[in-house]
Chain A
Amino acid sequence: MTRKLNRVKVKLVTCMEKTTYTGRRAKGFDVSKLSFNLCDRLLTDLERAKRPVLKATKCALDNSFYNPDVGFLEAGDKKVATELNVSSVKKMSRTVFMLELILRNINVGAINTKRELYYISKGEIKHNKALKPLDFDDQTESDTIIDFIGELLECYREDLNCYANDRGGQTYSQQLVVEETMPSGEKAIIDLSKLGTSPFQPKNRPQNLKLKAKHKIDFCLIVESEGTANTLVNSGFTKRNNCILMGAQGVPSNAVRGWCRLIQTQLKVPLYFFGDLDAYTLQNIFRTLKAGSAASLIRNSDFCAPEVRFLGVLPDDIKKYDLPDYPVREKDVQEGRALKKARDALQNDPFFKDKKNKGLSNILKWLIQNKRRCEQQAYFSVAPDDPWMPEKIVLDKIKRKEFV
């Protein structure tokens, strides 16, 4: 840390080549320059004995706006202002300290996870006693600072060369070909049909990928349960259909969200989500996939697929296919909380409030009223001796446009 960072204005190593990628990064985003400006402003204020104020975008539901034209949650004007005073000086010092570590990483092209950054900061502090007061007690403390920097500079965590562990998004297709531009500039071509039974897993850098279809792809199916996605592939779903099949693995990670966005913009195929019928899936999993989340307001534009449709399980399916379902008990702590959150969402979540998503809010209403839930695996009960039944139902629903 004592070493001076002499080259500040460096080209972002992670900066993309020419892609069809649409987000703000395409406008040329330079963390080093932004940081320089920010610090320069702070110093100038200090020189004038004026209290510097750091303004960060407020990433919360009350600053989220749903724009039906673009289809995702956008940030409003609300900022969280941190004024320098004896109480905030610690946070500001930590922010500048962490920023310096990040700039060094960017400078040399190094990439780290949040946990690694936590240990790197520990190491710096260990070797420099003067920094002792900054020491982080645990990773949540350093994570908060990293997030804060992202909100200050209005940039992605990846822009800070800080990557999350990519989770979920295992993808199968007989038609899809991915071209990846590597940091060195080299290109790798991945033909998913050549991977055998292995899936392709997208990394959280969609800007480096270019997608091609060997044959026309009819649709992309995103399955909530990774296991069920696997079952479908094993029983030949991707062989019989020109499609992309993906497992979401619960709440979609940034990688999954960015990957779906890429499929939507580059391939222009319809996307369907196949998951449980319950408040949690609808609110946390599907809403995040379709419109992003309040916590990631800054990145929603590139990290959600507004075109994705909810294929099921739909309330009508229960009757139609005579699916086994379960009561939701208000008394159960977890389920009670989910119900309360659902009621809350109808009132306050701009996504569910918008009339464009009336179909989805109706499902939510249905869930609250009927207090039932039904899992996606219930399709396997329809014809227990026919392993292809779930596939048939999915295809049938797509054909008849039975989705929301």
Chain B
Amino acid sequence: MTTDNTITKSSSAEYFSKNLQQVGFSSFTKATLTTVKEAIDNSLDACEDHGVLPDIRVEVDRLGLGTAKGADLIRVRVQDNGPGLTLEDAVKVFGQYLASSKFGRGRCSRGQQGIGISAVTTWSQLTHGTGATVITRTKGMKNAVQCEICVDIKKNVGILKTKQIVDWDQLSGVSCEFIMDARVQLNGDGGIITYLQGTALVNPHLNLRYKLLDAEEVFIERVSDTVPLIPERTSPHPHTMKLGEFLAHSHLFGKTNTKKWLKEGFSRISDTVIKELIEKGMPESVFNKTLSSVSEDQLKQIYAGLQDVKLMAPPTKSVMAIGEADLAKCIQRLGEIDFFAVETRKPTICDYKPIQVEVAIARRREKSEDDRDSPVQILRFANRVPLQFDKSACAMTKAVETVNWRPYGLTQPKKSLPQGPYIIAISLVSPFIKFKNASKETVDASDELVEEIRHALQKCGHKLSAHLNREIKEADMERKIQHLEQFAPILVDGLCRITRSNEKRKERAMAGLEKILGKDSREAEKEFIHAQEKSEDATKLMAENMGVSHEELLEQMHGNGENDNERDMPEQLELIVNTGSGK
């Protein structure tokens, strides 16, 4: 048994070291991003698990040329203020595959498999010959320890290369550093800034500092002081299970009374539900037997019966949404925006799985010439992790493309993404997100899921249209007033010349025309005022939700230009521009 175990372990390390492209190391630019991403995901998970408000610092430097052709030598350092790891655990975490505390928890954590950070160690080991340099300290440790950890690829165990006690001004936390062959892409879909900003967008409680290459350090401050409540592990919902899973589930409970199994092993099955099953023809006796004495046919019958019963949605506890108020605050961290709208849907079931969809749409203040014709920026999130690749096949992209945005005031070519200086952020949270492939970049586009996302987008678009409409009406009013001033004299002059009319007649006609057109522009003015009120109502409601005053929100949105953020985050507005990798 033990030998077997070792074999499994050793082959897994070997397997992953040979297939690093499957876990985010398919190119040099992706290597940097994956490293940053795995480290931050871990830090955020650890902080959340321990109720700590995360303070994360990221540093990416280019040390010189890499060993491989076309690669730079890149150093990535990520530091957190989480619970820290004991030395023993650190060696496992960084040096051994499939060592995770998150297996099968049925929770919405970022990490799931225990592969992520060990793969990073392997990459730096393979390309630079050094493993992970880790500083760690738990509350129980007197001093912080700095160590170098490698992966023993043959045996799949961590190797502690060096260790020394160091001074650290933190009571707990982990700092990890990797040096590797890689390249740095800052902006664009696969860019690090895009990732960092996305992460800031969906983690209101995060304080994030980052210093990338030669750029100034950027600080994104937290907008919420509450650590998201870690949803409790939930029992499976009968509607989230396939028949096979249901049967397998039953085998684990052999001696248990069937009724008890149903009520305790699942969520949302109550006495009333069981009564309903009996009314529908299930013999009552079945529920009083032990599971092992219930035939497979009867189990199948129970399963089928349950699918027909209307059950309450799975408990919302298992999904952890950001909430409209925090999302509203977060989206303003993306840079200067004109206005925005957010929508948090109620948790629901798609494809037998509980899921919650949230959407935020914002219009960037800073606009460039090509903005109008280029597609909006889509930020996709699965359990608060930004997805940055393979967007075209993703359920979220599909949903954006199939919504008709024109009624909300956005331009949109047929069957494609809407255009303009907008950011559309979509966040899915679910303990069971179905990805299209192993690299977890594309959410499977089932009809049900796409439809649910579409609903969220439509609601959000509708909210946004209040603001856009105000602008449209304003422009309309201005155009109308302008028309009155510009064309009235030309028209009357022309008519008078053709009819050879005298000045008196001209004056009378001019007065009449002004009366007619004045009425029209007053009408337009009324419409504008109405639209303005509606937009104001929308921001008022938003402010109320966010717990800030209306003035404060307006101030934030249409800030006076002396905003600190503005100086701090110049490059944040260039998210769309893909500048490739840094040299």
Contact = CB atoms under 8 A, between A and B. Distances in A.
A137 to B, nearest CB: 16
Given A47-B505, A86-B484, A86-B517, A93 B494 contact: yes
A110 interface: no
Nearest to A84: B516
A196 B460 CA distance: 77
Interface stretch (B69-77, B134-142, B507-515): B507-515
A85 to B, nearest CB: 5
A57 B521 CA distance: 29
Contacts of B484: 86, 89
Interface in A93-139: 93, 96-97, 99-100, 103, 130-131, 133-134
Interface in A1-16: 4-6, 8
A48 B513 CA distance: 9
A49 interface: yes
Given A39-B498, A43-B501, A86-B483, A51 B516 contact: yes
B487 A96 contact: no
A92 interface: yes
B577 interface: no
A5 B497 CA distance: 7
A61 interface: no
B63 interface: no
Interface in B473-506: 480, 483-484, 486-492, 494-501, 505
Contact of A46 (B483, B487, B492, B521): B492
Interface string A42-78: 1101111111000000000000000000000000000
Contacts of A42: 495
Nearest to B510: A46
B494 A85 contact: no
Interface residues of B, number: 31
Contacts of B497: 4-5, 100
A49 B521 CA distance: 15
A251 B94 CA distance: 79
Contacts, number: 95
A89 B494 CA distance: 13
A112 B500 CA distance: 25
A296 to B, nearest CB: 26
Contacts of B510: 46
Interface in A335-365: none
Contact of B515 (A49, A97, A131): A49
A86 B492 contact: no
Contact of B490 (A6, A39, A97): A97
A92 B491 contact: yes
Given A86-B480, A93-B487, A47 B498 contact: no
B491 A89 contact: yes
Contacts of A99: 494, 498
B512 A96 contact: no
A134 B509 CA distance: 20
Nearest to A49: B512
A43 B490 contact: no
Contact of A96 (B491, B501, B520): B491
A89 B488 contact: yes
Contacts of B499: 36, 39-40, 43
B524 interface: yes
Contacts of B495: 39, 42-43, 46, 96
Given A39-B495, A133-B486, 4 more contacts: A43-B492, A47-B505, A49-B511, A50-B516
Interface of A: 4-6, 8, 35-36, 39-40, 42-43, 45-51, 84-87, 89-90, 92-93, 96-97, 99-100, 103, 130-131, 133-134
13 contacts: A39-B495, A43-B501, A43-B509, A49-B512, A49-B516, A84-B516, A85-B516, A89-B491, A89-B517, A97-B490, A97-B494, A133-B487, A134-B487
